[in-house]
């Protein structure tokens, strides 16, 4: 299987975790987009009933509506049964780096509150340690970005302001903030670093998701591999 086929395979496998009357956190990204489309088809075909999605971004919300998935907001539900999302990196302990799509804050809010957090990746996302290939996205308040970038030097990190590709200037998140991409030489303790980064004034949230993933479905050339905490 090529990468796109792996993404489709894990997205279809994720449907086995969905039942009637579930509230589902809908992640952001290319793999989760396949899941949302497949979920919408099951709902439209009458194979699932009273299923509702809570999107983590404008992108996920628009795709859910287009695909026929009923959408609700976080304050309209008492609980989230399962959250389904992708990841940019997954280490052997199932710690994650997420946020290349810029939706890390709402992703973390929803996925930390889900009864089960199901992660969908292809095998290229598996790493021996976090930030091996990808920087850690950090959502910051715009007036503070430069000061925060300088403060990250204390962590031996090199931070760059993420620039937009189809507009002038920096990427703007759904919350109206900037994204710093911080490359760490080595992350010894993901949970400790996740907490420390969030104590920096002006940081809204960061893309380390430590001790949160329950199940990771990995698309490989040989098939789907299931990893559990």
Give, rounded to a whole angstrom, the gap between the first and last alpha carbons of the chain.
Answer: 26
Tokens of residue 200, six digits:
């920096």
57, 63, 69, 70: CA torsion to nearest 10: 50
| H or E segment and range at residue 89 | strand 89-90
Annotation marks residue 50 as catalytic: no
User: ∠ CA 89-124-206 to the nearest 5 degrees?
Assistant: 15
Nearest to 96 by CA among 229, 190, 192: 190
* Given 5, 76, 107, 123, the catalytic residue: 107
Q: Which residues are identified as catalytic?
A: 107
């Amino acid at each position: 299987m090529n990468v796109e086929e792996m993404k489709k395979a894990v997205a279809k496998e994720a449907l086995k975790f969905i039942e009637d009357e579930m509230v589902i956190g809908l992640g952001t990204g290319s793999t989760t987009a396949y899941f949302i489309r497949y979920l919408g088809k099951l709902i439209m075909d009458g194979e699932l009933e009273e299923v509702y999605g809570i999107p983590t971004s404008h992108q996920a919300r628009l795709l859910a509506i287009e695909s026929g998935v009923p959408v609700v907001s976080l304050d309209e539900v008492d609980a989230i049964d399962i959250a389904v999302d992708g990841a940019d990196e997954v280490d052997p302990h199932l710690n994650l780096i997420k946020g290349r799509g810029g939706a890390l804050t709402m992703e973390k809010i929803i996925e930390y509150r889900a009864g089960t957090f199901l992660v969908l990746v292809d095998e290229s996302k598996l790493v021996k340690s976090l930030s091996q290939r990808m920087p850690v996205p950090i959502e910051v308040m715009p007036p503070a970005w430069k000061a925060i970038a300088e403060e990250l030097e204390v962590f031996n990190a090199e931070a760059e302001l993420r620039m937009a590709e189809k507009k002038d200037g920096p990427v703007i998140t759904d919350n109206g903030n900037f994204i710093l991409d911080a490359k760490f030489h080595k992350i010894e303790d993901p949970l400790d670093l996740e907490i420390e980064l969030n104590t920096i004034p002006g940081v809204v949230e960061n893309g380390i998701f430590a001790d949160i993933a329950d199940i990771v479905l990995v698309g490989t050339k040989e098939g789907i591999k299931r990893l559990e905490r």
